[in-house]
Amino acid sequence: MTALPLPLSHIETLWIDPEVTNHPLADTVRKRFASEKIKIGIPPVPDGIQAVKRRLFVTRYRGRLVKPCPGSQGRICCGYQVINAMVHCPMDCHYCVLQTYLSVPALTLFVDEDRIREEIRERLDTNRSHFFRFGTGELADSLVHDALTGFSRRMVPFFAKTPNGILELKTKTAAVETLRDLDPKGRTVVSWSVNPPALIRAVEPGTVPLSQRIAAARRCQEMGYWIGLHFDPVVWFEGWEEAYRGVVADLARALDPNRVLWISVAGFRYTRAQKDLIRKRFKSTPLFLGESFRDEDGKFRYLQPLRVSMYQKLLGWLREWSPDLFIYYCMENRRVWEQTFHDPPKNTRELDERFNENIKRHLKHGG
């Protein structure tokens, strides 16, 4: 039994659903835990989020496992497909939506890998001339469980064989060694959320520092993967300009911009319920220093002029790094796009089309 990597080493109990005890994934995971830590059954409702993060549950999922990202009402969204292979996360970012949004009793791994593949194939078959983007990082961190499950290592070769599928593995770990010695054939993007080092220390407990994320991204570029970067959430604080400019400079020093497939930018946003919970769990969080208002979709965001001015600066530094970077907003409105982009997409369909062109262009020049 080898030791578990850090965020998973806090797991106290492994629960295995009686229906899946003979499944190979349950077997693989079970081998990593001492027998006194393993229970067969359904975990009871836990006492708080910390308890959820200290137990792992292997089970099956009866609903659809691959679904379009629901996006946000009235926003230009990117047409992403979400793969629900696992749910929840052992790390503990203050702003994480999963803490309010999910009601699972444990970090949950679903064994239904064959069905995931089938559902992906179904989606790809609906339009063979269109590139569909899939990600496992919406309801969990894509790589944090990989040392246990090997899931991404199996998905990379699967996507490499698809004519029109792109897999995105989104993470705040540096756990990329499981991706070594595979040939992604231009069909996998490994991506990192990035923020200034001091903000990471203050609001992203359990994640790795920026320097380790960038070093892992560089290793992935060398291994033949595309890289994605997510400035999400962009947070306002005294000195934010210098701090974010420093992040772009660090990225520019280490990474080849021609192998960065996309970059998203999204200001900090939250619901009322999320704010109440964040305040309760992280009393001295620096997240709420910027002035916010309730937007049309019910989420609180920084005032529009502040968002526009922050985005203009950030986009400016990124364009200085490389004018050809493909940059998009996650869940922003048309007015913000129009004030910050010279030729903004009109709607979700147009943004999706631009992703398609961007992917084809990159594959032509070095997939």
Check residue 232 for interaction with ligand SF4 (CB under 6 A): no
CB of 95 to ligand SF4, least distance (A): 7
Q: How many CB atoms lie within 10 A of CB 115?
A: 16
Residue indicated by tokens 């946003």: 269
Site for ligand SF4 in 118-157 (CB under 6 A): 140-141
**Residues 6+ away with beta carbon under 8 Å from 326:** 261, 262, 263, 354, 355, 358
Stretch that binds ligand SF4, among 65-73, 91-99, 178-186, 295-303 (CB under 6 A): 91-99
Considering only residues 201-230, where is the footprint of ligand SF4 by CB under 6 A? 207
Stretch binding ligand SF4 (CB under 6 A), from 87-95, 213-221, 282-290, 347-355? 87-95
**Residues 164-203 contacting ligand SF4, CB under 6 A:** 172
Mutual angle of helices 240-254 and 304-321, in 10-degree steps:
30
CB neighbours of residue 3 within 10 Å: 9
Q: Which of 362, 83, 81 is nearest to 225 (CA)?
A: 362
Residue closer to ligand SF4 (CB basis): 207 or 340: 207
- The distance of closest approach from Cβ of residue 71 to ligand SF4 in the complex, given in angstroms and rounded to an integer, is 18
One of 77, 96, 208, 318 touching ligand SF4 (CB under 6 A): 96
Answer for the pair 137, 168: CB distance below 8 angstroms, yes or no.
yes
Taking the C-alpha atoms of residue 225 and residue 221, their distance in angstroms, rounded to an integer, is 5
β partners of residue 260 = 227
Which of the residues 235 through 254 are near ligand SF4 (CB under 6 A)? none
In the complex, minimum distance from the CB of residue 362 to ligand SF4, in angstroms, rounded to a whole number: 26
- Interface with ligand SF4, residue 104, by CB under 6 A: no
Binding-residue total with ligand SF4 (CB under 6 A) = 10
The contacts of residue 342 (CB under 8 Å, 6+ apart) are none
Which residue, among 333, 326, 332, has the nearest Cα to 354 in the 3D structure? 326
3-state secondary structure at position 189: strand
- Nearer of residues 172 and 259 to ligand SF4, judged by Cβ: 172
Which residues of the chain form contacts with ligand SF4 (CB under 6 A)?
89, 91-93, 96, 98, 140-141, 172, 207
